[in-house]
Structure 1
Amino acid sequence: MTQMIGTPSDSDRAAEVRNALVDKLCVTGMITSLEVERAFRAVPRHLFVPEGTSLEVAYNSDDSVAIKWAADGVIISSISAPFIQARMIEQAGLGLGMSVIEIGSSGYNAALLAEIVGPSGRVISVDIDPEVTERARALLEATGYTDRVTVILTDAEDGVAELGDRVDAILVTAGAWDLSPAWLAQLAEDGRIVVPLRMNGITRSIGFRRDGDHLVSTSAEVCGFVPMQGAGAHDERVFLLPDGHGRHVRLRFDANPPQDLDLLDGVLATPRTEVWSEVTIRNGVSFADLHLWFACFLPGFCRLAADEGTDLAAERKSWFPFGTVQDDSFAYPAVRPALDGAGVEFGGRAYGPYGEAAATVLVEQIQAWDRQARGGPAPTFAYWPTGTDRPPAGEGTAALAKTHGLVSISWPVAG
């Protein structure tokens, strides 16, 4: 039976469910330090979620919980899933007496940070939304953390004027397209910044540390976050492909969309083409790095979404929401059964006069990933602020330009 928050047995039941969550996070390697484990056992997450949220949802390791929606129903503020909160705090390498800025306030994550840095530490939680900061202050006061966390209403893109000294760590809990120069200016020389960084539409929570005039990654985790608001927001370019029946396939470009997208008008009315790669994978095996590989090296890369009622929507389980635009044609990754039903083969499906060529471009990148990166060391990341000298990129390194700098993504060759 689902237990709802607000019944007389909440306290004991909540402690039981919370400890079960922490046990799972420890077993799965999301929590690796005693300090983070103690914090997750101490802070009552169910007291920070909206009223009426079940304990099972509040303490599900993979569930984020929305706390505010825009008028169109899009979530604009949420409490992140426990697994990624645990990983990001571990990425930050916090300890007793440290100072930390949290960008994006829910109250709960700030309470976790307060537990880890202790009474001698300092936690500053900032958000651009007054409703969010008021809610966070009220919940932190109700749970006994008001003297250990300072909540500030501000656009973090401009830094935290009230800060004074630099901090040991910055945790960004909203999806960021770039790193603000103000963040780096307020980070201690040996400090760390953990940020869910969007790279050509693909997000990773990256733990960075300073290395001279730039940042280098110490860790990276697959994640998804509500996008940054305010001056740090970055809108995608969206192009609609009509299917002739009033429905659309949407192509979403993170930056620098191809020229002459009007060449795709009517493309969904053309015959579909398929090209297959002979690259297979067993069921249940993650291939998230293939998505990042596409974002790095697939020309004309975009994210894909299909309205219900379109042909693509009817086949949703056989393709992935990414694509490539090649002049008047576009292709997207797909799978078909392989390995005697125990796996799938990767391929590309395409529309347009030169759909086969577009699908071939995509398949060549699948094969390159399989040959050069699959099963090898994880990619590493670096951030080069504007004005720094970045060495020439070697083989297997992609460079993505940002407003205030450049991100490089390096793939060690699988041996």
Structure 2
Amino acid sequence: MDSVPRMTSTDMKPPASDRELRDQMVSRLIEMGALRSSGAVAAFRKVPRHLATPQTDITKTYGVEDAVITKTDADGIQLSSVSAPRIQAMQIEQADLHPGQRVLEIGSGGVNAAYLAEIVGPGGTVVSMDIDRDVTARAERFLKETGYDRRVKLVTADGEDGAAADGPYDRIIVTVQAADIPPTWIDQLVDGGRLVVPLRMRGMTRTIAFVRDGERLVSDGFELCGFVPMQGAGENRVRLLLLHDVPGEEVGLRLDGHPEPNQGALREALHMPSVEAWSGVTLAGDESNEHLDLFLTTVLENLPLLTGTAAARSRGLIASASPLGVPTLVRGGSFAYRTVRRTQDPDRFELGAIGHGPEGAELAEALVVQMQSWDRDFRDDRARIDVYPAGTPDEKLPEGGRVIDRPHTRVIISWP
């Protein structure tokens, strides 16, 4: 019988300490470009984020892409989370924080507030607020355990109203998905101050760094992201319209202020033979399509997002399965959505569209035309996003942009 080698003490590697895991996390975030400033790097090395989620495996807590869900509702909808380190780093770098600044965080959790307190230092002010008492109680325990309770003020209230008593603020960082920007956030921000907010525009969410310029906000960079939705007065969730509702194989459209579609006709169209159109435009394997998608939603009128499960794709119902959704042009009982296919170059993928329904071919071609326009005229450009108060006359808005009207604001997406 073969003998089984014994493990010796030199063969066994002890589990990494929380300090080692933090250092590994920081190194990875620097490599990714998510952490750049010295103050943010020092904060991420110091704060013991694992103490905020003691029931979660510590290696997951320090995984750069791992968010930890801390509360869901009765339907399983995520209400609160500790965001992934990469997302927190991204927003903090967008905020361009400096020692001595006054910062309001809307959407609490404790960890991010501790990072903010480290960066602004003892001469700064950090106010962290959340509508949910369970969330602020959990943040309170973490901040007390880690010694940041003396440097962070916690407020349990609706973030829609801000926290005027401690304002105005140099920076406001919103860590929940918002569909609108209430006037209080602008009023409580100093002129020239920065508001970082995951703003949902026609179904797609991006964390945007805005700079206040009088009564308007002007974007200074944005990143694709995902956040739990805002609760309270500012709650405005995306609605899912199912086109195929077999359990495990669901296909649907995410509607965000889009015209009400003909559900019955679109359900029939999904099961009709599909047609394809290809653009000749290619992306590298590691190249994001987020700027293309924002361009498409700017230039096309009715573009909700098609979402589906992996099983729906395996069955051939759809060619693209994305939990966030892919831009889909809808007209009557037809639709077409963005897709890709491999090219002879293993690192390049061609953009195209797949159409369903009587006008599926026409809609697919319309998408392809705009993909070619983006590639020809806008591929190297980035959109500008401006926010004006609701009621601002059209003639005072930037020309040629896509206007998204919300109760409090008019959001304009424009391209050079």
Judge same fold: TM > 0.5, yes or no: yes
Decide whether the 8 Å contact of 1:194 with 1:206 is kept in 2: yes
Partners of 2:386 and 2:90 in 1: CA distance: 19
Partners of 2:235 and 2:76 in 1: CA distance: 18
Alpha-carbon distance, 1:147 to partner: 0.9
Aligned partner (choices 363, 380, 386) of residue 384 of structure 2:
380
More divergent stretch after superposition (19-28 vs 143-152): 19-28
1:151 and 2:189 matched: no
Alpha-carbon distance, 1:387 to partner: 4.2
More divergent stretch after superposition (336-345 vs 360-369): 336-345
Alpha-carbon distance, 1:106 to partner: 0.7
Query: Deviation digits for residues 227-259 of structure 1, max 9, x if unmatched?
Result: 111111112233222378996421111113245
Q: Corresponding residue for 1:346?
A: 351
Q: Corresponding residue for 2:371?
A: 366
Aligned partner (choices 49, 66, 88) of residue 45 of structure 1:
49
1:54 and 2:50 matched: no
Alpha-carbon distance, 1:352 to partner: 0.7
Decide whether the 8 Å contact of 1:101 with 1:125 is kept in 2: yes
Decide whether the 8 Å contact of 2:248 with 2:309 is kept in 1: no
Against the structure 1 CA distance between its residues 230 and 340, is the aligned structure 2 distance closer, same or farther, given a 3 Å change threshold?
same
Aligned partner (choices 105, 108, 117) of residue 102 of structure 1:
105
1:17 and 2:21 matched: yes
Q: Corresponding residue for 1:6?
A: none
Aligned partner (choices 239, 242, 248) of residue 241 of structure 2:
239
Against the structure 1 CA distance between its residues 69 and 313, is the aligned structure 2 distance closer, same or farther, given a 3 Å change threshold?
farther
CA RMSD of aligned residues (A): 2.3
Query: Deviation digits for residues 167-226 of structure 1, max 9, x if unmatched?
Result: 111100001111011111111223211101111111111111112321111221221111
Alpha-carbon distance, 1:260 to partner: 4.2
Partners of 1:178 and 1:334 in 2: CA distance: 30
For 2:351, the aligned partner's letter is F
1:331 and 2:336 matched: yes
Partners of 1:41 and 1:270 in 2: CA distance: 55
Aligned partner (choices 225, 228, 235) of residue 226 of structure 1:
228
Alpha-carbon distance, 1:31 to partner: 1.6
Aligned partner (choices 191, 196, 199) of residue 198 of structure 2:
196
Partners of 1:128 and 1:190 in 2: CA distance: 27
For 1:207, the aligned partner's letter is A
Alpha-carbon distance, 1:385 to partner: 1.3
Against the structure 1 CA distance between its residues 308 and 381, is the aligned structure 2 distance closer, same or farther, given a 3 Å change threshold?
closer
Decide whether the 8 Å contact of 2:312 with 2:318 is kept in 1: no
Query: Deviation digits for residues 274-299 of structure 1, max 9, x if unmatched?
Result: 11111122322222211212222233
Q: Corresponding residue for 1:90?
A: 93
Partners of 2:43 and 2:175 in 1: CA distance: 18
Partners of 1:125 and 1:220 in 2: CA distance: 23
For 2:67, the aligned partner's letter is S
For 1:294, the aligned partner's letter is L
The aligned length equals 399
Q: Corresponding residue for 2:403?
A: 399
Gaps of 5+ in 1: 1-8
Alpha-carbon distance, 1:386 to partner: 2.0
- Secondary structure (helix, strand or coil) at the match of 1:341 reads coil
Partners of 2:396 and 2:233 in 1: CA distance: 30
Query: Deviation digits for residues 61-118 of structure 1, max 9, x if unmatched?
Result: 1111111122222221111111121121122122222111100111000000111111
Aligned pairs for 1:280-319 (under 5 A) are 280-307=282-309, 309-310=311-312, 314=316, 318=320
Partners of 1:233 and 1:150 in 2: CA distance: 24
Alpha-carbon distance, 1:262 to partner: 4.2
Decide whether the 8 Å contact of 1:319 with 1:334 is kept in 2: no
Decide whether the 8 Å contact of 1:215 with 1:383 is kept in 2: yes
Partners of 2:290 and 2:310 in 1: CA distance: 25
Against the structure 1 CA distance between its residues 299 and 23, is the aligned structure 2 distance closer, same or farther, given a 3 Å change threshold?
same
Against the structure 1 CA distance between its residues 247 and 27, is the aligned structure 2 distance closer, same or farther, given a 3 Å change threshold?
closer
Q: % of aligned pairs identical?
A: 42
Gaps of 5+ in 2: 1-13
Decide whether the 8 Å contact of 2:308 with 2:321 is kept in 1: no
TM-score, normalised to structure 1, is 0.89
Partners of 1:392 and 1:128 in 2: CA distance: 33
For 1:65, the aligned partner's letter is V
Partners of 1:348 and 1:44 in 2: CA distance: 46
Decide whether the 8 Å contact of 1:282 with 1:339 is kept in 2: no
Decide whether the 8 Å contact of 2:180 with 2:407 is kept in 1: yes
Against the structure 1 CA distance between its residues 271 and 58, is the aligned structure 2 distance closer, same or farther, given a 3 Å change threshold?
same
